Structures are given as structure tokens and as C-alpha cells.
Chains A and B, each alone.
Chain A
Amino acid sequence: MIVLSHVTKKYGDITALKRFTVHIRKGDFAFVVGPSGAGKSTLIRLLHCQERPTEGTIMVDGVNLARMPRKQIPSLRRKVGVVFQDFKLLQGRTAYQNVSFALEVTGAPGAYIKRRVPQVLNMVGLSDRADIRPHKLSGGEQQRVALARAIVNSPSIVLADEPTGNLDRDNAWHVMQILESLNKRGVTVVVATHDWPIVDAMKKRVIEIENGRLIRDDLEGGYSQDVASSRAVSR
């Protein structure tokens, strides 16, 4: 489903990822962890073609993103939903409009949009907040709007870059629960994070990056190799 082989990404002199190889299967739930500057965000950006790799191949759904023509980027982004730490919502539009926008972009028929958007808002628990603009929503609500927008096109992959970075505990868990329920329905989920309590508690696949290199890939891992297991035990 997602296969990175020997992927190197350079920004000028800085090498953000070095000969990075990883395979994420359909239906996986993977955390990407590592210290700040390790290359987590770079990985997420490569996966929805916001950046292109300097070297190597990135196969997503059988397409090599390294060579994919620009023209196909929009259709990739409709198959891959993304959420960020800073939500990236349109301030002038309501929660409903922020979500419906992602469907309008695809040219979806109006009747379908009217049916689909409430469905997704319901899924993230925001049915009663549909007509409110982002600046009047809490951080957790904004992130759930962003999540609703990311999944409204029924993507097979959802990427999240520090989705809980700006949220309090309750909201952070709420967002993670939504991601997990999506994953249960077959969506592949990749979450870059340094939110160690969540990573430790969820017992998912953990991919650890340091200095742009893969240093650990555990199937039911903790936030860090040693401390995590002891933490898990002491809990």
C-alpha cells in the first residue's frame, strides 16, 4: 500500500531523510516518532506529494510519487486525507463549509454533498457545531473539523502530523479514538507525533526516526524502546 524504498530527501545542504525504507500495509495503524527535526513531517509531506523525494521511490496504491505527473497530484490528495497540528481551516467558512469544500473541489454532486457532510460531522461528533466558524470552536473541535474534512472523500489513507500537538488530553484522546475507529473500518492511518502517553497506551506499530534514518520499527511498540516498556509495566 505504502512502500518507501531508499528514500532520500534533501533541503539544500540539510538531509531530512536518508535512504529511508519502510513498508506500511493496507489497514495498518502506524505511529512515526522521533526527536524534533528527525524527519517526521518530511515523511508525511512526501506521502501526499507536498514534496518530492530527492532519491528513491515512494509507492502509494501502486503509483510512484517520485515520478507521478503533477496533473495527478489532485487525485492523489483526494485519496489521502491529511490533518496538521495547526488544523489549516478556512477561517471565513463554517465547520460545515470547511468540510463540504473538500467535496466541492472534486466536483461531487450537490445532493451527495448534502448527504455526506452531516454524516462525517456526526462521525467526529460535531453535528451540533456545523454552522460555527473555526475561531469560535475549541482546538479539539477545530481538529475534528479538519479530520472530518480529511475523511469526507472516503480516503484509503489518512495522514496526521502532530494532530494532538495543540490539544488538551481529552481532546487528544477524542481525536485518536476517531482515527482508531477509521482504522477499524480499513483506513490506513499514519500519525507523526511526540505525544508519548498516547503512543504508549495505544500499542500500535511504531516507526522511529532519528536524523532522517529509520532506527526502530516495532509492531506493538512504545514511544521509546527501553523507557516505554518499563513505563508500560509500571503503569
Chain B
Amino acid sequence: MWRLLGRSVVEGFKGVFSHGLMSLASMGTVAISLLVLALFLVLAANLAYVADVLEEQVEVVVYCNPEFDRDQWGDLLMDKLSDIPAVASVTFVTKEEALDRLREQFGAQAELLEAVEEDNPLRDSVEITVSNPAEIDNIVQQARQLESVEDVVYQREVVQRLYALTEALRSAGVVLVFLLAVATFLLISNTVRLTIYARREQIEIMKLVGATPAFIWGPLVIEGTVLGLLGASLAGGVIAWGYADLFAAVEASLPFVPIVRPTPFLHNLLQLLLAVGGVLGMLSSCFSVWRYVRL
């Protein structure tokens, strides 16, 4: 058993090198298919990331009624709001802070505010960020029922459009990646089938002199796996190098554009590519050798 495995590994690697051109061609095909797949994964990951960032900006503002005494009730209110499902964070904004912000926004025209400054008409408020925009109606309803809450405000339309958009981005990403995975599988198994087909004579001869199917399979399956891994490394290398550069460039010149950080993302992507390449190479050589190995 171990001997068979050892021999398969040795012969499998020999096979990769002794069929140089063919190996190079299949490795290239694997690399290109996986590269396309990886590009889409990068795209999908960034779309998902953008969706996350946008979602984090969804905000519900809870205004307290004028009688609200923040020293007495502030903590309790915050606790109650935090306990509502899908609430990501709560920030207390005192009416003085609110006025300051307003002043900032008015800038040069701040003197217009002088009239209201003696008796601040603003309210204490709590800004809530939401972890799932689908839950927003529920959050608003529950917040409204709390004592000392006067009003709850959020931008309904924006939120709902955003929600639809992020959902679409996510499912499009999943569908695209799935389709590409299928295409990659077909392309890789076709390539491996070609390399095996080119060697059907050799397989025929092995059977003729009494080789067992496992003896014929072993090296060819290892060879397919090695080709898959090599192709995946090539694709991974290109992607890693390209993405690191892209990230550096975006971060330097367009810092406000949300983009997934290379670590640990690239690390995971590389692992995924290697796994996909290896498994696809192995599976497709198993399938294509099977036809010729049957006695």
C-alpha cells in the first residue's frame, strides 16, 4: 500500500516533467481558469465589503422628549436600546453636542443660531447603527414604545434601497462565483482529460502487462493533482501580487473608497485557490482515467 503510494508520487512527478509541453499547457489552463475565478472572488468580496460599509452607515436617531433627564434615565435608555435585536451600536448625543454640530454645519452663518442659544430647543438623542437593515422597521417600532422617547427618525427610502442593493450584490456574487466554479471545473477536467487521452496507449500497454487499476491510477491522479496545485499557485501568485499593488494604490490616492484589506483576505484566497486547484485536478483525473483504466 505505502509502496504503491510512494511509487505513485514519484511517477506522478516524473509524469509532470516528462510531458513538459502538455503539462505546461494544462497548468496554464488551470492557472487561467483559477485566475478568472479568483478575480471574481476578489470582486465579490469587495462588493460584499462595500455592502457592509454602506450598511454600517444606516442610522436610526431616537429623540428624547423635552422632560427627559439624562442623568437619571440615560443609562437605562441606552441599555434598552442596545437590547433590541440587530442594533449594532448606540451613541448618546446630548442636546448641547447637537447644537455644537449645528453650529459647525452653519459655519460662517453661525450667528443665525444666536437666537436659539439661550434656550436650546434641541433634544437629547441616541444614534443607533444597525447590523441588519432588514430589521430596521422592527427597531423603530420597539424604540418608539420606550418611555421618554418622543420620536424616532430614519431615512426609510434610502435604507430600503440600500437594503435591496446589498442583497442583490451578495446574491449576484454568489451566483457568479458558483457559475465560474462550474466553468472552471469543466475547463480543468477537459484539460486533464486531454493529457490522459494523449496517454491512452501507455495505459493500454500497462493493462496488457498486468498492471492493476490502482497501479495505473495512482501516478496519473497524483499528476493531475500536482498540475492543479501548480496552476493554482501561479494564479494565486498573480492575484496576490496584483491585489497588493491595487490596494496600496487605492489606499494612497482614494482613501475613502472601501476596499478589502489584503491580510488576511489574500491568505484565505490563496488557500482556497490551492484547495480548489488540487481537488479539481485530482477529481478530474480520477474521472478521466477511470474510463481507460477499466479492464
Chain A residues with CB under 8 Å of chain B are 48-50, 70, 73-78, 82, 88-90, 92, 101-102, 105-107, 149, 153
Nearest-neighbour CB distance to chain B for A207, whole angstroms, equals 23
Residue B207 lies at the interface, judged by CB distance under 8 Å to chain A: yes
Known: A90-B202, A90-B205, A107-B3. A70 touches B210 (CB 8 A): no
Task: Compute how far the CA of A182 lies from the CA of B186 in the bound complex, rounded to whole angstroms.
Answer: 51
Among B3, B18, B210, find the residue whose CB has the most chain A CB atoms closer than 10 A.
Answer: B210
B18–A105 touching, CB < 8 Å: no
CB-based contact B210/A106 at 8 Å: yes
From known contacts A90-B202, A92-B18, infer whether A74 and B295 are also in contact, taking CB-CB under 8 Å: yes
> What residues on B are CB-neighbors of A78 within 8 Å?
209-210
Given A90-B202, A92-B18, A107-B3: A102 and B295 interface contact (C-beta under 8 Å) = no
Interface size on B (CB < 8 Å)? 16
Report whether A75 and B3 are in contact in the complex, using a CB–CB cutoff of 8 Å: no
Knowing A73-B295, A92-B18, A107-B3, say if A153 contacts B210 (CB, 8 Å). Answer: yes
CA gap between A102 and B215 in the complex, in Å:
12
Flag if B207 contacts A77 (CB, 8 Å). Answer: yes
Secondary structure class of chain B's binding surface, majority of residues: helix
Contact digits for B189-227, partner A, Cβ 8 Å, 1 yes 0 no? 000000000000110111111111001000000000000
Closest 8 CB pairs of A and B: A77-B210, A78-B210, A102-B209, A105-B211, A73-B295, A74-B210, A74-B212, A70-B295
Assess A105 versus B210: contact at CB under 8 Å? Given A73-B295, A90-B202: yes
Further 5 A-B residue pairs, CB within 8 A, beyond A88-B208, A149-B209, A153-B210 = A70-B295, A73-B295, A76-B210, A90-B205, A106-B210
Chain A residues, CB < 8 A from B3: 107
Query: Which residue of the partner chain A has the closest CB to B211?
Result: A105
Are A105 and B206 within 8 A (Cβ)? yes
**Nearest-CB distance from A151 to chain B (Å)?**
11
- A77 near B202 with CB under 8 A, answer no
Contact mask B167-198 → A, CB, 8 Å, 1/0?
Answer: 00000000000000000000000000000000
A-B contact pairs, 21 of them (CB 8 A): A49-B295, A70-B295, A73-B295, A74-B207, A74-B295, A75-B210, A77-B208, A77-B209, A88-B201, A88-B204, A88-B208, A90-B202, A92-B18, A101-B206, A102-B210, A105-B206, A105-B209, A105-B210, A105-B211, A105-B215, A106-B210
